[in-house]
Amino acid sequence: MSELAVKDWVKQVIKPDEIDEYLVNGKDFIDEQVINDTLANNQKPEKQQVRDIIQKSLCIERLEPEETAALLHVKDPELWEEMYAAGLEVKRKVYDNRIVFFAPLYCSNLCVNNCAYCGFRYENRDEKRRILTMDEVRQETEAVISEGHKRMIVVFGEHPRSDADYIARTIETIYGVKKKARTGMGEIRRANINAAPMSVADLKKLWNVGIGTYQVFQETYHKATYATVHPEKTLKGNYRWRLYALHRAMEAGIDDLAIGALFGLYDWRFEVMGLLHHAIDLERRFGIGPHTISFPRMTPASGSYLSTNSRYFVNDDDFKKLVTVLRLSAPYTGLIITARERVELRREIIQVGCTQTDASTRIGIGGYTEALKELSNIELRNQEIDKQQFILGDTRRLDDVVRELAEMGMITSFCTAGYRCGRTGDKIMGLLKSCTEGKFCKLNAVLTFREYLDDYASPETKAIGEKLIKQELLQIRDIPFFSKGSLLETFEKMYQDTMKGKRDVYI
């Protein structure tokens, strides 16, 4: 594609009227003065005040910005311990003891943007550029399925060659792949996407091919920082086009949305407040907040000075705090901790209330197929910085992470039922707020964990998994919610069918 054609494409992406319609009196919902004042006015919360806020969160109520700001300023280690414990308690109430797994699939590293922290930016001449053909997408998907995954987040750089039509073809290709497992047939049942902001018309194309969650991270909510790290003349340099990406998605019918910030670009307390205001604005306008919040920390990227020299790096202690405050502030929203983080830290952060994570992760373009060829079964040997967006902290295989979580008493869920039963958008929000979704999920988690143990688990993981599944079955049979109507009976039948090799049964 010629440089001129790329430039012409870039010129037509942003539709100013699809920004302006969301402004209120010409202003957007991120008011830095308001955020700074809220942070400044809540610097010394009383112990009792903090405990009252924790209680509110335990009642599964979203916190107000003042309350979040107060939690962000807690200094007392004893109170932090209470908050960590409350984070896990909130998670258990809403999502029970399950962790949902996904695999990222990076489809291209072509990008018209020039973000200072990213190896894919167009000025980085060290990066080896590549976009997957549909045959390669198929191969990558087969490799992901072979690990036992059922859910993907498919990632695209912003470029005319990876436009909405390419994304749509990719999603259709992924859904079309079936791969024989030990007992049943493996497949991706839900393909979420992480892609650039788009027009409502393009988003409708994605909705039509059945994308799952649409994920757009604002990166930083702080406007001056945003302008510094995203050059003005690039598409991503338009703060508001990005800020309203998910509002447009709602207009296009996509009601399952994910927000996030890249921690390390600006002050972490400010970013937490930005995420909260984003969630509040979506709730206020559409009655539905984000399904998940992500909080990646900046890690070294090829040719990026900023990625190793930011003054705003978040240390491990503060990282744990910010995840906890997010957990308490948005109790019914999923939280995603990724393989960017080191093994030990990931284990610790999961225990303050995360709901989703990835494993067996390869983020080089074509990385899964290459890993299969070169390594066959062990950890990723060397991460190739010139072929991937950042460096991973945890390269363990899915089987290892599933086993570790089972040892911690957490059940891995590959469930994608909620979406396919119409439990999305305002419906799922209502179920999550009333702690009902977690109950359905418990049943579906057991069914999909059964599939995983029989189709993919190593003998060690299977042994530990069997004990866990036994405990889960005992609990399920003991919960009145299940035994009152015919739910328990239906579930028992489905469990037996799954044992016999039937796949993809869900409630």
Instruction: Judge whether 335 and 298 are in contact, CB under 8 Å.
Output: no
**313: which DSSP letter?**
P
Nearer residue to ligand SF4 within complex by CB, 110 or 431: 110
Residue 213 or 355: the one with the smaller Cβ distance to ligand SF4 is 213
Q: Comparing C-alpha atoms, which of 86, 100, 38 is closest to residue 328?
A: 86
Residue 507, helix vs strand vs coil: coil
Q: How far is the CB of 21 from ligand SF4 (least distance, A)?
A: 24
CB of 121 to ligand SF4, least distance (A): 4
Smallest gap from Cβ 419 to ligand SF4, in A, equals 26
**Residue closest to 94 by CA, chosen among 330, 383, 366:** 330
In angstroms, the CA 312 to CA 337 distance is: 20
| The pair of three-digit structure tokens given for residue 154, joined into one six-digit string | 């498919």
CB 331 within 8 Å of CB 276? no
Output the smallest distance, CB 158 to ligand SF4, in A: 5
Cα–Cα distance, 467 to 457 (Å, whole number): 14
Q: Closer to ligand SF4 at the Cβ: 124 or 424?
A: 124
- Smallest gap from residue 111 Cβ to ligand SF4 (A): 3
Rounded to 5 degrees, what are φ and ψ at 413? Answer: -115, 135
Nearer to ligand SF4, 69 or 336 (CB): 336
Least distance to ligand SF4, CB of residue 18, Å:
19
CB 292 within 8 A of CB 354: no
**Measured distance CA(68)–CA(90) in Å, rounded:** 15
Nearer to ligand SF4, 231 or 430 (CB): 231
Rounded Cα gap, residues 155 and 390, in angstroms: 13
- Residues contributing to the site for ligand SF4 (CB under 6 A): 111, 113, 115, 118, 120-121, 157-158, 236
Nearer to ligand SF4, 194 or 461 (CB): 194
Shortest Å, Cβ 229 to ligand SF4: 9
Q: Of 295 and 482, which CB lies nearer to ligand SF4 in the complex structure?
A: 295
Alpha helices in 232-383 (DSSP H): 239-243, 245-251, 268-286, 306-309, 316-329, 343-350, 367-375
Rounded Cα distance, 43 and 66, in Å: 10
Residue closer to ligand SF4 (CB basis): 234 or 436: 234
Smaller CB separation from ligand SF4, 121 or 320: 121
In the complex, least distance from residue 157 CB atom to ligand SF4, rounded to whole angstroms: 4
Nearest C-alpha neighbor of 277 from the set 52, 29, 2: 29
Residue 244 is encoded by which pair of tokens? 């309203």
Q: For residues 167 and 154, give the distance between their C-alpha atoms in angstroms, rounded to a whole number.
A: 9
How many whole angstroms from its chain centre is CA 51?
A: 29
Residue 115 C-beta: closest distance to ligand SF4, Å: 3
120/449 with CB nearer ligand SF4? 120
Query: What is the DSSP code (8-state) at residue 213?
Result: -
Query: Whole-number minimum distance, CB 8 to ligand SF4, in Å?
Result: 19
424 backbone dihedrals φ, ψ, rounded to 5°: -130, 180
CA distance 145 to 424: 24
